Structure 1
Amino acid sequence: MAAVRAVGSQPNPLHIYGGRTCNLLMADWWSDRSPLHEAASQGRLLLLRSLVAQGFHVDTLTMDGVSPLHEACLGGHYHCAKFLLESDAKADAASADGATPLFNSCRSGSAACVGLLLQHGASVHSTHQLASPMHEAAKKDHRECLELLLACGAQLDTELPEVGSPLYSACGAGAASCVEMLLLAGADVGVGCGRDSPLHAAVQRGDLGVVELLLDFGANAFYGNSEGRTPLDLSAPNSSVRFALQRRGVWKTFHPSICLLQTGAEQHPLLSAQVRTLCLSCAASASANVLDGVVCTEPPAFPCLPGCKTSSSTTDAPPFVLAADPEM
């Protein structure tokens, strides 16, 4: 039998759904927002206070689990967020896609809201793979937010599936300031996303500044990803990024015919007839004329790089092959 509504009764827009107070006026993601959500998203503190005084629940949720505090933090409205938290709004409320108010604050870059939430016990750790505050702050290049998270115990090298580490996220987005901060804080330059390293991400973006920064901190230009491709392989031909990778990686290459082997060098793992080094002239320009215990003593039999004038040979140079390091 169909339920009969009492004559004159009015539908209550606020219901308990799964133990949570939700606004069910409409079911789509935008129209079911309450006036409380609108006031919070627009930073209208006086209206927010008035609505709460009228009986609106501070943790009223949309069908997607978005609270007024989510909206205030996404807009960077510190005073609205402060009022909601002081009115017992949940600091760690998670939406359907896992976003928390802290994640939204990191997205908007509001360090004030990040600090406020942390003071109210918000967790720096996310239970959702795609909604990590650390990764979001790094990707958006919000350095101050990142510093606050790290000061409260966020992990530097947390690698999430399909997202990677915070450093990888920052490199993929060209967030140079956060890349530098993470590296200075001790982030592992080799932890990326699966077999893709942060250097792979930076090279694919073509960001020379980030590439050189990673190389300064020991990134391996010869590390192959799941397809066996190194950052050098992914660099654009004749680009400044490719030149930087070749110039900075030259110390890892040499050829026995142009080297005086020092003590123990005979057993060097990279000794191979397929591996060549730059000639003295080109190597000196890259500050690499002394290579890991092996000293170049004479010009190569072939030009070492396109345009090299040192070699007396007119024969075309074989393909320039760089030696690969042992896997990291």
Structure 2
Amino acid sequence: ILQMILAQDNVDVNIKDDDGNNALHITATTGNFVIIDPLLQHPQIDVEASNSSSVAKFFTPLWLTVSHSHKPAAQVLLEHGANAEAADTLDRKTPLHVATEKGNADIVELLLDHGANTETHDQRGFAPLWAAANKGKEDIFSLLLD
């Protein structure tokens, strides 16, 4: 059904709800690969679209996927050109900061494989390496140093 809807000429795949979320943002939070993949096949999908929220903190679909620890969804977003460095607009945390803070070594490795910069600093001036050290994530600390 989704593919039939997406095949229609007048479909706006980037239309947003009242919170500024498009279908890709909503799907990114669930990690539902069955829906993410067809959305990403649409030629007009914006993988870098930021949403909006009541706290003036905007996120890309990749950022949301990483924050919910959905590695397969993060992988397909990266394969479709999502920017591994796209930070949120308030704290300036990149997906690598978030994956490090969550202790998700698999996603950290995935982001590094797609060009995430270990030296990018958040709004407080901290790089992901600091988060790994601060939270005692030795495995991630080692990944970030390699």
TM-score by length of 1: 0.39
Aligned-pair distance for 1:174?
0.6
RMSD after superposition? 1.8
Larger Rg: 1
Aligned-pair distance for 1:163?
4.1
Contact conserved, 2:103 with 2:137, CA < 8 A, in 1?
no
For 1:214 and 1:220, the matched residues in 2 are separated by: 9
Could you say which structure has the greater relative contact order, defined with CA pairs below 8 angstroms and 6 or more residues apart? 2
Write out per-residue CA displacement over residues 191-221 of structure 1, whole angstroms, 9 at most, x where no aligned residue.
1312211111111211110000001111111
1:177 maps to a residue whose letter is P
Specify the SS of the correspondent of 2:120: coil
Contact conserved, 1:172 with 1:201, CA < 8 A, in 2?
yes
2:71 — aligned with what?
176
Gaps of 5+ in 1: 1-111, 249-328
1:189 — aligned with what?
84
Contact conserved, 1:159 with 1:191, CA < 8 A, in 2?
no
Contact conserved, 2:16 with 2:23, CA < 8 A, in 1?
no
Q: Which of residues 10, 35, 59 is equivalent to 1:164? A: 59
Q: Which of residues 8, 17, 35 is equivalent to 1:145? A: 35
2:123 — aligned with what?
226
- How do 1:165-314 residues align onto structure 2 when only pairs under 5 Å count? 165-194=60-89, 195-235=92-132, 236-246=135-145, 248=146
Aligned-pair distance for 1:228?
0.8
In structure 2, do the counterparts of structure 1 residues 238 and 139 end up closer, same or farther at CA, with 3 Å as the change threshold? Answer: closer
Q: Which has the higher helix share?
A: 2
2:13 — aligned with what?
124
1:142 maps to a residue whose letter is N
Number of residues of Structure 1 aligned to a counterpart in Structure 2: 135
2:5 maps to a residue whose letter is L
Aligned-pair distance for 1:126?
2.5
Gaps of 5+ in 2: none
1:115 — aligned with what?
3
- How do 1:34-53 residues align onto structure 2 when only pairs under 5 Å count? none
Contact conserved, 1:223 with 1:230, CA < 8 A, in 2?
yes
1:159 maps to a residue whose letter is S
TM-score by length of 2: 0.82
Q: Which has the higher strand share?
A: 1
Specify the SS of the correspondent of 2:142: helix
